[in-house]
Amino acid sequence: MHGWRARIGLVIAHSNTTMEPEFNKIVPDGVSVHVARVPVGERSLEGFSNKDQHLENAIVLLSDINAKAFAYACTTVNMVAGEEGDIAQARRIIELTGKPAIPTSIAIVEALAALDAKRIVLATVLPPELNKITAEYWRGCGFDVLGIGGINLGGPRKSAEPLASVPVSAVGLQTPAVVYNMARSVYNDKADAVVVINANLRSIEVAAQFERDYGIPFISSGIATMWASLQAAGVPEPIPGYGRLLEQQPALRWVRMPRP
């Protein structure tokens, strides 16, 4: 039986091509990840403001797998949902399942709290108007945002020959080297951590190397979601080679994540 220790239900954007391979690569033995998708528009405020109308259907479809935790891994949708919108998303998942709920934005907050990181820099692939919302979200959560930057991959999806002949998410086409350099571009020696925001960016390959090179925690949407999901599911097993959050498995503090 797959998931004999724990099963994790994971809801991702329909265009996400990264989280499934990453999670399946690093998940501990006896833990399985089961995925549903929700439609998300272009990379703009309007595109990410879907009012969560598809989340409930995805969670209902996943609810029969007897998962120990459910994650909603679309960081920008979490952040643009309005004041405490991500908490409302988590509470709705809990209402439907009775199990812990992990919106990725909350997972990152919890990861930073677990590592005692207060001063952060943010690397994103968002357009300027969404970067502004992003910075405001983290300041509202009590963090000192020392800088925000990255690359602008906003707007509608496009084809990318020879990799894709149909419109696809340009985010999922970026290499781990791009992610490393995004993090390096925003690095500040006064920061307690660097946060890479987007669940479709390949981050696990470069997390440990960045930490060796710059000496501060490297937190990404994917890494934080995996850590918080394992913690909430009761399988806080250290996973070496992918940065200190997964390797050290500091305890989840439940500072923003609602308890079921």
User: In CATH terms, are 6-106+222-248 and 108-220 the same topology?
Assistant: yes
Beta carbons within 10 angstroms of residue 237's beta carbon: 14
User: Residue ranges of the domains in the chain?
Assistant: 6-106+222-248, 108-220
- Left (φ > 0), alpha (ψ -120 to 50) or beta: where does 51 sit? left
Highest CATH level, class, for 108-220: alpha beta
What pLDDT score was predicted for residue 50? 56
pLDDT above 70 coverage of the chain, percent: 87
Going by DSSP bridges, is the β-strand pair 164-168/158-160 parallel, antiparallel, or unpaired?
Answer: antiparallel
| 20-77 tens-digit pLDDT | 999 999 999 999 999 999 987 554 445 445 556 788 999 999 999 999 999 999 776 6
Alpha carbon separation from 78 to 40, 71, 232 (Å, rounded): 12, 11, 19
Residue 230 confidence class, pLDDT cut points 50, 70, 90: very high
What pLDDT score was predicted for residue 221? 96
Please, what is the end-to-end C-alpha distance for the chain in angstroms?
26
CB hemisphere CA count around 235 (13 angstroms): 21
* CATH code of the domain occupying 6-106+222-248: 3.40.50.12500
Contacts for 146 with CB less than 8 Å, ≥ 6 apart:
119, 120, 121, 188, 190, 191
Q: What is the mean pLDDT of the chain?
A: 90
| 127-156 tens-digit pLDDT | 888 899 889 999 999 999 999 999 998 766
